[in-house]
């Protein structure tokens, strides 16, 4: 098993890190993080992530996708086409047509992942059941559902399909997901920060060094040593993202 943390879902290319990027990376390494799965939210970030991979080949593993909610011209926001994942929150998908459009493009994205033999890193807000059902119908066997907040019964359907689930520092804010974490086997759990968002404090910038927080929390909920959670979740991550391990 691996000796360091794997942050399975972070936005290290976000503009929030521009001013003190080197310090963030230093703290990341000091915290024992060995791999950052660098997730994009828009096409404009693709080149930045590739640049970061070139600069930090032993740390940054690119993960390309587009968030379901994208800024349009003016104050409006719209469902994007294309995307990886589903977001059925009312402000993102107010109508059934919006949801149907998301599912249509989601399936197209899943087909690309299958064609390239790549795992998928999934955003599934207020859409856990549909997301898991769609992935199963499309024959997806390797998937991470990040910041998962669905029902335990839905999560267990994903476990049966072989999917993994990751949790960020924000999970420490309340005991709302304790039952969920207890029921998902540790062999199906990964760690993430989703930084700069989903930190311990809602309006404070999160960063990869905070990966220790969900590790400790999950360990506490499951009655395990944090070291065990760190080792097993890293092993799970590299099993799902084998190309990240070779960095």
Quickly state the pLDDT bin for 72 (edges 50, 70, 90): very low
Asked whether 202 and 210 are in contact (CB, 8 A), the reply is no
Domains and CATH numbers, the chain: 5-245 (3.20.20.140)
31-65 per-position pLDDT tens digit: 999 999 999 888 888 999 999 999 999 999 999 88
pLDDT of residue 94: 75
Residues 6 or more apart whose CB falls under 8 angstroms from that of 125 comprise 86, 87, 88, 89, 92, 147, 149
What is the pLDDT confidence band of residue 69, given thresholds at 50, 70 and 90?
low
Q: How many CB atoms lie within 10 A of CB 103?
A: 18
Which pLDDT value is given to residue 91? 58
Answer yes or no: is pLDDT of 192 > 90. Answer: yes
Cβ neighbours of residue 66 under 8 Å, at least 6 residues apart? Answer: 40, 41, 42, 43, 80, 82, 83, 84
In the numeric block, which tokens belong to residue 95?
A: 């109508």
Distances (CA, A) of 132 to 74, 77, 172, 206: 34, 25, 25, 28
Averaged over 64-68, what is the pLDDT? 74
Residue of 65 and 122 predicted with greater confidence: 122
Average pLDDT, the chain: 89
Provide the pLDDT for residue 2: 58
Residue 45 CA to residue 10 CA, distance in Å, equals 13
List, in order, residues 6 or more apart from 14 with CB less than 8 Å away.
195, 196
Cα separation of 199 and 202, whole Å?
6
Model pLDDT, residue 184 = 98
Whether residue 184 contacts residue 159, with contact meaning beta carbons closer than 8 Å, is answered with yes
Pick 54 or 79 by higher pLDDT: 54
């Amino acid at each position: 098993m691996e000796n360091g943390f794997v942050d399975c879902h972070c936005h290290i290319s976000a503009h929030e890190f521009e001013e003190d990027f080197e310090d963030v990376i230093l703290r990341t390494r000091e915290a024992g993080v060995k791999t950052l799965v660098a997730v994009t939210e828009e096409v404009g970030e693709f080149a930045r992530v590739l640049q970061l991979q070139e600069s930090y080949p032993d740390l940054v593993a690119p993960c390309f996708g587009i968030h379901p909610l994208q800024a349009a011209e003016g104050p409006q926001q719209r469902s994007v086409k294309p995307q990886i994942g589903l977001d059925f929150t009312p402000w993102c998908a107010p109508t059934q047509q919006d949801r149907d459009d998301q599912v249509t493009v989601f399936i197209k994205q899943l087909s690309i992942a299958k064609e390239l033999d790549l795992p998928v890193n999934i955003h599934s807000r207020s859409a856990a059941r549909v997301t898991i059902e769609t992935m199963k119908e499309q024959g997806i066997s390797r998937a991470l559902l990040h910041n998962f907040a669905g029902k335990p019964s839905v999560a267990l359907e994903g476990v049966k399909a072989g999917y993994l689930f990751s949790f960020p520092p924000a999970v420490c804010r309340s005991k709302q997901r304790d039952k969920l974490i207890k029921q998902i086997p540790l062999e199906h759990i990964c760690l993430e920060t989703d930084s700069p968002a989903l930190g311990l404090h809602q309006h404070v910038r999160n960063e990869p060094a905070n990966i220790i927080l969900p590790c400790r929390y999950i360990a506490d909920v499951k009655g395990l040593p944090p070291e065990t959670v760190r080792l097993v979740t890293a092993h799970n991550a590299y099993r799902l993202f084998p190309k990240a391990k070779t960095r």
